[in-house]
């Protein structure tokens, strides 16, 4: 397979939230987040029975594997590298400032400090550590470090499920990074937020440049049966402006929580917020957030994120935004 003269490869993303979603893409060297050099090959999903998970944690990995297996066969994923994300509620992360140490001792130093705030023992955590920057403070060398952590057992359960389904799980990462990969980074040094709104899965993420500072997964409490609504405009209209005000109030509460956390932990606040997903289309929401918080709020339609989404034959499935995280995971090997 080739795009022009460039050899293509396949990748897949497995996203587990309210449902199981898989995206398969085909990409070439030099592909980018604007959609150049890659295309969507296939999308599929399956229900996630409540008996298989609790609070976002997989409790029956073999049972999940049995659900994944027919999806993997139909999508022909046996030889495709898969990137999966742990469900949002099971991931902890924080940016820390520490005395500078060599790379050899970086992880050990971070884990020592992490014992103070991790809700699980550091010995039971699977961790990823990234050095953000070095700087001087009061004549002392310091470093800013990003830590992401989850229980080792959660990672192991995901691996067991993929083995059961004969999926080639290559990487486990975190959902905010997958969303950022699809939506893009506004500016390197900008503090900004993503508000991802979907019918069964909503999230607010705050980033400082490329590094996440805050992530929270939440559900909108429905006044109407929003899962019967076919498009974003219908959702916000509902039975009248009363419904729009109800949901807007919930979203404002979630953003307030995020801003308070960032102010307490990092002494900063977003310069802007990007709204995306299937419930993005209400200009009334954009105006309400702008009036409430005083920063710029931008609504991004899915088809404007990149050319691969705009040109895909899967437009009907993509319109809801539910595959955005799965596509971002599939692109893990690309950029």
pLDDT in tens, 77-89: 989 999 998 876 6
Give the burial class of 120: count Cβ atoms within 10 A of its Cβ; 0-12 exposed, 13-18 middle, 19 or more buried.
middle
Rg of the chain over all Cα atoms, to the nearest angstrom: 20
Residues 6 or more apart whose CB falls under 8 angstroms from that of 12 comprise 22, 23, 24, 25, 75, 77, 80, 81, 82, 83, 167, 330
- The helix-helix angle for 152-164 and 61-74 (nearest 10°) equals 40
- Asked if pLDDT for residue 222 goes beyond 80, the answer is no
The proportion of the chain whose per-residue pLDDT surpasses 70, expressed as a percent, equals 80
Query: What is the set of domains in the chain, with CATH numbers?
Result: 92-153 (3.30.1490.300), 185-304 (3.30.420.40)
> Helix or strand or coil: residue 252?
helix
- Asked if pLDDT for residue 26 goes beyond 80, the answer is yes
Instruction: Tell me, yes or no, if the pTM score tops 0.75.
Output: yes
Q: In whole numbers, what is the pLDDT of the chain averaged over residues?
A: 82
Round to whole Å and give the CA distance between 255 and 235: 20
Tokens of 65: 């594997």
Round to whole Å and give the CA distance between 2 and 150: 38
Give the confidence band of 20 by pLDDT, cuts at 50, 70, 90.
very high
Question: What confidence tens digit (pLDDT) does each residue in 149-182 have?
Answer: 889 999 999 999 999 999 999 999 888 888 888 8
Determine the pLDDT at residue 45: 93
Determine the pLDDT at residue 1: 38
In the 8-state DSSP scheme, what is residue 150?
A: E
Round to whole Å and give the CA distance between 135 and 284: 42
> What number of H helices and E strands is found in the chain?
10, 16
Determine the pLDDT at residue 33: 62
Tokens of 17: 């939230």
Tokens of 291: 């009036």
Range picked from 111-120, 184-193, 314-323 for highest mean pLDDT: 111-120
In the 8-state DSSP scheme, what is residue 160?
A: H
Tokens of 116: 């103070």
Question: What confidence tens digit (pLDDT) does each residue in 128-150 have?
Answer: 887 777 889 888 999 988 888 88
- Asked if pLDDT for residue 290 goes beyond 70, the answer is yes
Determine the pLDDT at residue 5: 40
- Asked if pLDDT for residue 2 goes beyond 50, the answer is no
Give the burial class of 176: count Cβ atoms within 10 A of its Cβ; 0-12 exposed, 13-18 middle, 19 or more buried.
buried
Residues 65, 164 contacting (CB under 8 angstroms): yes
């Amino acid at each position: 397979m080739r795009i022009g003269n460039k050899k293509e490869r396949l990748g897949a993303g497995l996203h587990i939230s309210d449902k199981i979603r898989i995206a398969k893409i085909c990409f070439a060297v030099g592909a980018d987040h604007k959609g150049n050099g890659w295309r969507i090959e296939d999308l599929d999903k399956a229900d996630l029975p409540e008996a298989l998970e609790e609070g976002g944690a997989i409790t029956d990995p073999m049972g999940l594997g049995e659900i994944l297996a027919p999806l993997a066969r139909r999508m022909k994923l046996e030889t495709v590298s898969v990137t999966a994300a742990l469900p949002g509620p099971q991931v902890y992360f924080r940016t820390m400032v520490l005395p500078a140490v060599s790379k050899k001792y970086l992880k050990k130093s971070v884990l020592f400090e992490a014992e103070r705030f991790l809700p699980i023992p550091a010995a039971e955590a699977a961790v990823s550590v990234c050095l953000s920057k070095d700087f001087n403070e009061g004549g002392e060398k310091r470093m800013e470090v990003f830590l992401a952590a989850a229980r080792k057992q959660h990672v192991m359960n995901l691996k067991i499920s993929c083995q059961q389904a004969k999926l080639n799980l290559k990487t486990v990462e975190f959902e905010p990074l997958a969303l950022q990969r699809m939506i893009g980074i506004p500016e390197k040094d900008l503090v900004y937020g993503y508000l991802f709104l979907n019918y069964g899965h909503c999230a607010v993420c705050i980033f400082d440049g490329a590094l996440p500072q805050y992530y929270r997964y939440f559900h909108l409490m429905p006044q109407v049966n929003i899962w019967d609504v076919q498009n974003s405009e219908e959702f916000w209209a509902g039975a009248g402006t009363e419904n729009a005000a109800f949901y807007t109030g919930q979203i404002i509460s979630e953003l307030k929580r995020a801003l308070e956390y960032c102010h307490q932990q990092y002494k900063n606040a977003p310069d802007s917020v990007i709204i995306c997903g299937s419930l993005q289309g209400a200009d009334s929401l954009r105006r309400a957030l702008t009036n409430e918080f005083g920063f710029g709020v931008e609504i991004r339609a899915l088809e404007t994120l990149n050319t691969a989404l705009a040109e895909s034959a899967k437009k009907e499935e993509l319109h809801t935004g539910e595959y955005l995280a799965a596509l971002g995971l599939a692109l893990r090997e690309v950029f």
